[in-house]
Amino acid sequence: MVTVDSRLKWNDTGTDLIQGKQYRYRATGSWQDWYIVCDVNGYSRWMLWLFGWMRRVPVAHWFQLIGVVDKAMSHPIRMGTEGTFTAPASGRLWVFANDAAFAYGNNTGTIELQVWSAD
């Protein structure tokens, strides 16, 4: 289990993935974007739709937990409270709260993430 800090642009999970292999995960807790509290599923607000392109992963919710391999943004893994994913590449799994790259200063809170092989 690893603690994921919402203020950090990159959180090292300590988990090395193998391309094509399936993994399970579970994330617990909540974190806060300015005054909005949410879990790792993130949130959406109609008043923010105009700024959605500013998120590091624009197709994912604000503050949704995102995983990437070796900090490469080419194949982001959109995560929620629990589920499975297939590793898009081999390498280290890094995660972050999906926010605008310049806006991590007003984030607070941490969540706990567990990742393990589905085999």
One pLDDT digit (tens) per residue for the chain, 119 residues? 999 999 999 999 999 999 999 999 999 999 999 999 999 999 987 766 767 799 999 999 999 999 999 999 999 999 999 999 999 999 999 999 999 999 999 999 999 999 999 98
CA 109/CA 68 separation, integer angstroms: 21
pLDDT at 45 (0 to 100): 74
pLDDT at 114 (0 to 100): 98
pLDDT at 46 (0 to 100): 72
pLDDT at 60 (0 to 100): 97
pLDDT at 50 (0 to 100): 66
84 burial type by CB count under 10 A (0-12 exposed, 13-18 middle, 19+ buried): exposed
CA 47/CA 45 separation, integer angstroms: 5
> Kindly report the CA angle at 10 between 41 and 43, in degrees rounded to 5?
20
Q: Collect all residues with Cβ–Cβ distance below 8 Å to 104 and sequence separation of at least 6.
A: 6, 7, 8, 9, 97
